[in-house]
């Protein structure tokens, strides 16, 4: 995969550490992300991946479509309403309130098309508490896509999907966003679809370099250190 990247950094940390309470969760982190990069974030559970995503998201939240691991869905609302919430910032409060109750044709069509791409068109009018884990995850992805931002941050966004669904959804996310930083447990997806890999272990960066330079054995070694 080739990347057209800017020389101006979008996100940057220089030898910075992050504490939560008295616990240092990330230590001496130095990294720069440029516009146009497709970056996979890997590492064992508890390595600090979610903390790093949250930290970088806070720098430029206005231009990032975030898909958190918790999904952040409102259970009593329909899948349509949850996806629509990704576009709240584009309209007035009055417009949003009325559209959530009586969907306007343009928004309804846009979200119906998006739901079809995600394979959940038949679930659009159900409350999300009736959906499976994989369907809920696709609703959360739909909400992020409906934000229509140039940058996508995902914290295990396809973990509840079967391999083919995960592949398809990840390709959709890559097509729709200029820059991506995505935490993944699936190492094959990280190597096949991303230009760069950042590996975390115990709150420190253990690898930051081209995905093409990593073999399966090298990835195993990063997890085994």
Residue 3 has pLDDT above 70, yes or no: no
pLDDT in tens, 7-62: 778 999 999 999 988 899 999 999 999 999 999 999 988 899 999 999 999 988 88
CATH number of the domain at 23-224, please?
3.40.50.300
**What pLDDT is recorded for position 4?**
55
Which pLDDT band, with edges at 50, 70 and 90, does 6 fall under?
low
The domain segmentation of the chain, as residue ranges, is 23-224
**Residue 18's beta-bridge partner residues?**
26
What pLDDT, on the 0 to 100 scale, is given for residue 225? 57
| pTM listed for this prediction | 0.91
Q: Which helix (H) or strand (E) holds 40?
A: strand 38-42
Q: Please, what is the average pLDDT of the chain?
A: 92
Q: Which pLDDT score is estimated for 77?
A: 95
Reading the block at residue 223, the tokens are 């997890």
Q: Which residue has the tokens 């190597």?
A: 191
Residue 32's H or E segment, with its range, is: strand 23-34
């Amino acid at each position: 995969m080739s990347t057209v990247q800017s020389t101006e950094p979008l996100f940057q940390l220089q030898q910075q550490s992050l504490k939560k309470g008295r616990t240092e969760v990330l230590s001496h982190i130095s990294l720069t992300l440029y516009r146009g990069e497709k970056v996979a974030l890997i590492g064992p559970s508890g390595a600090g991946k979610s903390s790093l995503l949250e930290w970088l998201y806070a720098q430029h939240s206005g231009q990032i479509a975030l898909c958190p691991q918790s999904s952040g869905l409102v259970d009593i609302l329909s899948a349509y309403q949850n996806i629509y919430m990704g576009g709240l910032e584009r309209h007035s409060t009055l417009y949003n309130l009325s559209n959530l109750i009586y969907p306007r044709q343009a928004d309804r069509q846009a979200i119906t098309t998006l739901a079809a791409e995600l394979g959940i068109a038949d679930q659009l009018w159900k409350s999300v508490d009736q959906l499976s884990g994989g369907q809920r995850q696709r609703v959360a992805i739909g909400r992020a896509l409906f934000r229509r931002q140039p940058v996508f941050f995902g914290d295990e966004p396809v973990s509840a999907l079967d391999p083919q669904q995960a592949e398809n959804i990840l390709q959709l996310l890559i097509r729709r966003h200029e820059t991506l930083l995505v935490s993944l447990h699936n190492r094959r997806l990280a190597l096949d679809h991303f230009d760069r890999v950042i590996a975390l272990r115990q709150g420190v960066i253990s690898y930051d370099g081209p995905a093409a330079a990593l073999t399966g054995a090298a990835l195993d070694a990063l997890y085994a250190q």
